[in-house]
Structure 1
């Protein structure tokens, strides 16, 4: 092994003999073999702890030209040693690294440094980025006015690696910075600062903002990408929870940078609305201002209140809500943005025209999916509260149109029942003194009532599956017959009662009778089977199928409970139905 090291070291010294490379030095036209020899010899020496010897050769003035042309090839072994804080060879390697950064070609160094960032092992990404960002900044600044594309390449490469780092989920994880994301974000802010200052100076001297400023364009890309990764995935902690938060500082600085390079936050927030009026350059705008990034910006502004001190307070709440709706649709899992935007809007102030805009209708539909499909109970509950909040903000006409559309599209009995309860509340409000309106009374209300007071599949409707809708429909009808006097007939219910009887009450009564007869027969069979099977503990399990899906096996005792519960539900429906029939009959209408 010692002989091998001596041999490699001799080769490495031979490489720097002036007479050996005299013609090559003059022409600076090294062959690939020369580069391979230099890299192989230098790498082996560094890896085997001969950093001091390599340093003496590297700083020798006679070897300056060779080092300037070939030195960047030693970055890989040098970085590996510099990452080992306990390595005795580290001080020499640090000196070699510093010298190479000073004398080598800046363009080649940029490529070499970024290769090290790209090739970093997953568990060393943060350490490599923190190690190389400062020298990378130094090298880029040497490029002068021609650095824009290299700055953009560097920012894109580093952010691509940062995006692979896990996001801290708790206060403790952010404080400990277990994954290095916080340190990387802080280092990135230091890295980009001189380039931001240069753009600000350009703006100051030109007194205008040019879209053709390449450096500004690269910084804008960086900010937009930072908003989508990592900030879109980060749950920022409030100052009350975490006083010092590097991630919150990073988010704040990104918004400040955008504003300082001539990208005002209001313009960015309203970009999607303004873009629709600018057909030229549409594709370019989509790439330049990604919707996910703008959505994150809106979330930071209105939910986390970051950089609100540089956001003007003159824009109306309704206008801001309209700006945010596309972002709400995109970030529905972050329903706080919709909620915070809605809170600023007065109740009953959103006009019906807004429902012609796709997001204002699709967002409530997506909220329905959250309420019904999300496996997390707290999210479902929150989704329901935001859903109700959004209903409250629409005008009466808009509520009417929204209810009709949602009843057609929800396909979920619980949601339909909730909408019907809202309809009942609107009718009750309209019947109050001074609250009369044309949408929840009279001719407009009747089509809505016919939409509500019906069975989806007639008498064969699954009453248990549609229980929420059926019960709310019956409660609404009972309320109307009691609240709206026959001689006043403000809702029009008394004029339509015979039609409602044919389309809803009679099919429901028929469906109830069939369902009760079926379940009573099943209950009788279950009791007989239980008797004949012996004791409960030894009873064989039975199979139950609901909507073509086989449920886990139930014991006969469990089956009895299910059947009895179903019959109790039918009795509940029948009691409300009977009460409705009594009210109508007492008034001589049935």
Structure 2
């Protein structure tokens, strides 16, 4: 019934003059053709399609059969496959390229999530064939095709390990390889045109540039592109990254110009929004990572740029990467920052760089990774890179960086780490021949006032601020022991009266208040345990402890006792160091 219905429609359309088909003719032809395919009549449909009398009908309407044909080709239905493939091939030969382009892209857009890879790989070659038929006005169509395909490829999970890449369970690596084959003739066309000094392919060149930028963002930003030194295997995504950079070179996008684009372009220039779309910062950040960390494309990058200039250019990308939450971006940001720093000599970065926004925002983002990132190895790496960045600043820059961090940081661990660095710099400056004006004498005093202080005075949470407090005490004890009062190179002895008022006395008061509070709570828990011994033996929560105005979670008395006793032990530790400092200041060395 369906085949005869299709033949009736075709017979009626044969009588239409000048191929002036109506919209309902297209719809009826499409519905009948799809039903024939779905009911296994592809062999008979092939006869109808190849009948010379139906040539004009097929040329005008054949593209509407792409949907059911693609479905059979993807599902590889054995009985219908050869006939559907023949119909598909014939339609590609005779139908209008513009209509075919729309029809093929519709199939890509409508691909089921489970068949994205099969659909992309099946249709890329036909798409290429259709686009090549469009001649010199194909640039926008090439761009539309690439955007459509990449939007689907971006839905595929990115393999992260070598084993996952090798398995390629979701087909991303195969899609990337197919994309390279797809763009090859268009890249070649632009290359030849540029070689002849032509500009007629500038629009196509722009579309290829956009393609490369999108690939750098997805999937390459997500991928693990590290090379395995113990393996000779070439990983597909690393190879894909290499090819993308080769395409950029082929279309004459100089890698230095791309990387330094943000320094050359200013927002006040006309058309900057278009430029930002054409050169996305995240894509350029991935490009910087490929060049300076993985050394992919480094042979195309001139070695004339100084390490300081390269660092300055990379800081915007590092800042962007470290401000994200995704592991892949944080990892690349840390790698790029580290590789940009190791090329520099210690104590070489001038203080003027701190006037650049990124040289302050990058450390703040590093601190966020160090303190908030849930991934342990990234927190450890961030701390290592943080220290490396400190080592590269010259003395004045170190001094001002420490001041900034102590003023802006709200994390006791970070502040403690900075204070420890201050002590190290003072220790270095006190050694013979190493003196510098920033960590001795009058310049040092404002920094010491910041380091040797309690943020909230006696009300400071000593447990929360333990890291900072202990490093401050250790710094003060070190200064008093290392710098004799008769020499007073650091100025600590003339500043001591202020430090006693702003740091030691408030700390002593806060220590006494905290100890009294926790001892009272400890006594209360012990009494509560005696009163409710039966419930405690059953293991249930028996009471609530309030510390610092907040209730501790319900826990057994034994657990509460451990928490409170641990706090008292911490106070004892602070007390020991504070008492030692007070002892040193009371018994001054002989002049």
| Residues 377-427 of structure 1: CA deviation (Å, up to 9, x unaligned) | 111111111111111111111111111111112101111100000000011
Whole-angstrom CA distance in 2 between matches of 1:398 and 1:509:
34
Deviation at 1:236, TM superposition (A): 2.0
Q: Find the counterpart in structure 2 of residue 419 from structure 1.
A: 418
Give CA-to-partner distance per residue, 1:7-47, whole Å, 9 cap, x none.
22122222333xx44552x4222101111121111111111
Aligned match of 2:276: 286
Once residues 480 and 401 of structure 2 are traced to their aligned partners in structure 1, the CA distance between those partners, rounded to angstroms, is: 25
**Paired residues of 2:177 and 2:240 also in contact (CA < 8 A):** yes
The one-character-per-residue Cα deviations of 1:165-191 (angstroms, maximum 9, x if unpaired) are 111122222111100101100000000
Structure 1 counterpart of 2:290: 300
What does residue 22 of structure 2 align with?
A: 31
The two structures, once aligned, show a CA RMSD in angstroms of: 1.8
- Residue 326 of structure 2 corresponds to none
Aligned to 1:575: 576
Match of 1:202 in 2: 193
Query: How many angstroms does 1:579 deviate by?
Result: 1.0
Correspondence 1:16 to 2:10: yes
Judging changes above 3 Å, is the alpha-carbon distance between structure 1 residues 550 and 137 closer, same or farther for their aligned structure 2 residues? farther
| Structure 1 residue 392 corresponds to structure 2 residue 382 | no
Q: Which residue of 2 aligns with 1:220?
A: 209
- Corresponding residue number in structure 1 for 2:82: 91
2:37–2:45 Cα contact (<8 Å) kept: yes
Where in structure 2 are the equivalents of 1:75-474 lying within 5 Å? 75-206=66-197, 213-240=202-229, 243-276=233-266, 279-332=269-322, 333-334=330-331, 335-474=334-473
The 3 A distance-change label for structure 1 pair 291 and 546 is farther
Q: 1:161 to 1:549 in 2, by over 3 A?
A: farther
Change (3 A) 1:541 1:171: farther
1:484 aligns with 483
| 1:437 Cα offset (Å) | 1.1
TM-score (norm 1): 0.95
Describe the SS at the equivalent of 1:206: coil
3-state SS, counterpart of residue 219 of structure 2? coil
User: Contact conserved, 2:285 with 2:321, CA < 8 A, in 1?
Assistant: yes
CA contact (8 A) 1:211 1:217 kept: no
Note if contact 1:83-1:127 (Cα within 8 Å) is conserved in structure 2: yes
Could you tell me how far apart the structure 2 residues matched to 1:520 and 1:549 are?
17
Residue 173 to residue 588, structure 1, CA distance change in 2 (3 Å) = closer
Task: State the distance in 2 between where 1:549 and 1:235 align.
Answer: 44
Contact 1:321/1:342 (<8 A) preserved: yes
Matching residue of 2:567: 566
Report deviation, 1:523. 2.1
**TM-score (normalised: structure 2):** 0.95
Q: What residue number does 2:509 align with?
A: 510
Change (3 A) 1:463 1:108: same
Once the two structures are TM-superposed, the CA of residue 577 in structure 1 deviates from its matched residue by 0.9
Q: Does the alignment pair 1:41 with 2:32? A: yes
Instruction: Give the secondary structure class of the aligned counterpart of 1:111.
Output: helix
> In structure 1, how many angstroms separate the alpha carbons of the residues matched to 2:228 and 2:527?
66
Any idea what the Cα deviations from partners look like across 1:191-214, whole Å, max 9, x if unmatched? Answer: 00000000001110017xx59810
- The verdict on how the C-alpha distance between 1:548 and 1:174 changes in structure 2, with shifts beyond 3 A counting, is farther
Structure 1, 543-552 or 392-401: larger mean CA deviation? 543-552
Instruction: Indicate how the Cα distance of structure 1 residues 68 and 392 shifts in structure 2: closer, same or farther if over 3 A, else same.
Output: same
Query: Which residue of structure 1 lines up, in the alignment, with residue 588 of structure 2?
Result: 587
Matched length: 578
The answer (yes or no) to whether the contact 1:252–1:307 under 8 Å persists in 2 is: yes
The alignment partner of 1:230 has SS state of: helix
Alpha-carbon distance change, 493 to 290 in structure 1, aligned in 2, over 3 angstroms = same
Q: Deviations over 1:501-526 (max 9, x none)?
A: 11111111111122222222222232
| 1:496 partner SS | helix
Q: Is the 8 A contact 2:190 2:201 kept in 1?
A: no
